[in-house]
Amino acid sequence: MNAVKFLFAAYIATWVIHGVYLASLVRRFGRLRQQLKELGKGK
C-alpha cells in the first residue's frame, strides 16, 4: 500500500537524524581526546 511507504520513510528519517547527531557527538569526542593528548604530551 502506498501509504505504508510514508510510515517507513518517517521511521527511517527519525533514526537517520538521530544517527547524524550521534555521529557528530562521536566526532567531537574524538577531537577533544586528541586535544587532551596534545596537552598531556606538551608537558
Partner 1 sequence: MKRLFPILSVITAVLLAYALYQALVVAPTDAQQGEVYRIIYYHVPSAWTAFLLFFINFIASIQYIASRKPSTQTAAKWIVLAIGVVGVIACFLPAVQKLIPAGMRPSAVATTVLAIPAFYFLVGKLFPGQRLDVLAVTTAEVGVVFCTIVLVTGPIWARPVWGIWWAPGDIRLTSTLVLWLIYVSYLVLRRFSNSAQTQMLAAALAVFGALDVPLVYFSIWFFRTQHPQPVIGGGGSMDPRMLHVLVINWMAFLCFAFLVCWSRFRLELMHREIEEAHAMESLVGSGVTSKASLPLSRSSR
Binding site for partner 1 (CB under 8 A): 1-4, 6-7, 9-11, 13-14, 17-18, 21-22, 25, 28-29, 32, 35-36, 39-40, 42-43
Q: How far is the CB of 18 from partner 1 (least distance, A)?
A: 7
Q: How far is the CB of 31 from partner 1 (least distance, A)?
A: 9
C-alpha span between 31 and 29 (Å, rounded)? 5
Q: How far is the CB of 36 from partner 1 (least distance, A)?
A: 5
33 contacts: CB under 8 Å, gap ≥ 6? none
Cell representation of residue 21: 547527531
* 24 Cα distance to chain centroid: 4
